Chain A
């Protein structure tokens, strides 16, 4: 597929982390994508993606770059957003095990637990079954967060059973790892690290629907 001007333009926040992979994934899926580092980069952007990386670092750089306020304004105006891993944390209402000064956009009514599956030695790949996907998705979880609480407005598209040694209370059988609410899509895992574009396609379809309204 080739991207034309009729395709949505996705701004990938590129302050730190795996932004280049998101840009490549969106382009593979037929959308246009640009990197966003300062508020002026948001001009003409139809939707944003917040990549994986370190959420504390991104939170810091969002503030110093002025992007935090610029993005807050756009999200409040209904701009679609896709957050993976650290990006999911930043879009949440509430962060558990985060830093007290960590700021989030509160764009989706979820509480997220940081590094919930454990440290890097517990990072893993797993086949994930998700609503809207016919075949399982190979999901890559890296020091991943999970959704501890999802509000009534939130649609849980996929859950996973944590390994027994995860930092849990031991009674948790499964946790949400892919959620949608209105124009916001979030995942605990990194669809940008695999060649499979289907999760990006779900978001592109959400952006298309939002633009048609």
Chain B
């Protein structure tokens, strides 16, 4: 037996970046704004927390420009929990992403929930050691983000609404097109690449494997255990819950119930059991009443 040499460690490889996303599968990633909330999330069984200053429901209510969180606030959350800590950078704002990488966050979410910093370019994510997750409303958007180096995709949904309808639309769009591509012949894949405005190689890879090259998670509007079960059955591999937990009446038990429902999503009796007596969910919003649709940010 002998030992690997510390100098020969390869960091920031695709396998290592996608690997952490693989480890989060079947789990719940929760938005938290304080170390206390982070502890509640970890106690409830969250696989990771997203550290941010305001949950999407408050960003939506307050308006104005939403930016990366204060590093001191992110560090406070890192100190409070042992699970991975993610943080958000604005779309295209590689300066914020560099700051977050220097803070050793475990994943960066290049997020439409914050105000975009660049109207044409997303961050070149290959340039970073830290992995990125990006939102997508359809398969073409997902593949463009993957071609830029994203190692996890989350369907966008409509953050801060507590309304699952957009998440379902985006998930069905992504998984539906994946199913169609697996049925396409070799010549049709060229047209798929053109229609999706995506690299042909990624389209061909999907035709072969029947899945995205990176894990597909779901975000935007999950408020109940049954919401989590629904999106998992529609093909999500894990869920992000933003405002849905800490804007509800009793966050701890609701967080725990969503964790249980995400694991046992195929068993309605478990979802029923954990849904009992949770108090009221976050107040929801109808799509027609929204002034800003966050999912339309990014391209």
Name B85-101 residues within 8 Å CB distance of A.
101
- B101 CB to nearest chain A CB (Å): 7
Judged by a CB distance under 8 angstroms, whether A202 is at the interface is no
How many residues of A are in contact with the other chain, CB < 8 A? 59
Nearest-neighbor residue (CB-CB) of B27 within chain A: A16
* CB-CB nearest 7 A-B residue pairs: A124-B9, A60-B45, A120-B106, A174-B3, A161-B6, A16-B26, A160-B4
Judged by a CB distance under 8 angstroms, whether B296 is at the interface is no
In the complex the two chains form, is B131's CB within 8 Å of A57's CB?
Answer: no
> Which listed residue (B16, B23, B46, B84) contacts A52, Cβ 8 A?
B23
In the complex the two chains form, is A61's CB within 8 Å of B1's CB?
Answer: no
Judged by a CB distance under 8 angstroms, whether B31 is at the interface is no
For chain B, give the interface size range: 35 or more
In the complex the two chains form, is A57's CB within 8 Å of B82's CB?
Answer: no
The tally of CB-CB contacts under 8 A between chains A and B is 153
Q: Within 8 Å CB of A56, what residues of B?
A: 42, 45, 82-83
Judged by a CB distance under 8 angstroms, whether B186 is at the interface is no
Mask, B213-253, CB within 8 Å of A = 1, is 00000000000000000000000000000000000000000
In the complex the two chains form, is A119's CB within 8 Å of B4's CB?
Answer: no
Q: Within 8 Å CB of B11, what residues of A?
A: 121-124
In the complex the two chains form, is A142's CB within 8 Å of B48's CB?
Answer: no
- B40 CB to nearest chain A CB (Å): 13
In the complex the two chains form, is A193's CB within 8 Å of B3's CB?
Answer: no
> Which listed residue (A54, A140, A142, A159) contacts B83, Cβ 8 A?
A54
Complexed CA–CA distance, A18 and B15 (Å): 13
Name B19-34 residues within 8 Å CB distance of A.
19-20, 22-27
Can you list 7 A-B pairs with a CB-CB distance of less than 8 A?
A: A16-B26, A17-B23, A53-B23, A115-B82, A120-B84, A120-B104, A194-B15
Complexed CA–CA distance, A125 and B17 (Å): 11
Judged by a CB distance under 8 angstroms, whether B204 is at the interface is no
In the complex the two chains form, is A193's CB within 8 Å of B19's CB?
Answer: yes
Judged by a CB distance under 8 angstroms, whether A213 is at the interface is no
Name A48-69 residues within 8 Å CB distance of B.
52-54, 56-57, 60-61, 64-65
Complexed CA–CA distance, A156 and B5 (Å): 17
In the complex the two chains form, is A57's CB within 8 Å of B15's CB?
Answer: no
In the complex the two chains form, is A127's CB within 8 Å of B83's CB?
Answer: no
In the complex the two chains form, is B47's CB within 8 Å of A121's CB?
Answer: no
Complexed CA–CA distance, A21 and B211 (Å): 14
Knowing A61-B45, A126-B10, A142-B20, the reply to whether A53 touches B3 (Cβ < 8 A) is: no
> Which listed residue (B13, B44, B47) contacts A16, Cβ 8 A?
B47
In the complex the two chains form, is A15's CB within 8 Å of B16's CB?
Answer: no
Knowing A61-B259, A127-B8, A164-B6, the reply to whether A16 touches B82 (Cβ < 8 A) is: no
Complexed CA–CA distance, A18 and B27 (Å): 11
- B134 CB to nearest chain A CB (Å): 17
In the complex the two chains form, is A125's CB within 8 Å of B259's CB?
Answer: no
Q: Within 8 Å CB of B130, what residues of A?
A: 120-121
- A102 CB to nearest chain B CB (Å): 9
Q: Within 8 Å CB of B23, what residues of A?
A: 17-18, 52-54, 85-86, 142-143
Complexed CA–CA distance, A161 and B23 (Å): 24
Complexed CA–CA distance, A204 and B19 (Å): 24
Mask, A117-145, CB within 8 Å of B = 1, is 01111111111111100000001111100
Q: Within 8 Å CB of B195, what residues of A?
A: none
Judged by a CB distance under 8 angstroms, whether A190 is at the interface is yes
Complexed CA–CA distance, A158 and B3 (Å): 7
In the complex the two chains form, is A57's CB within 8 Å of B16's CB?
Answer: no
Name A172-197 residues within 8 Å CB distance of B.
173-174, 190, 193-194
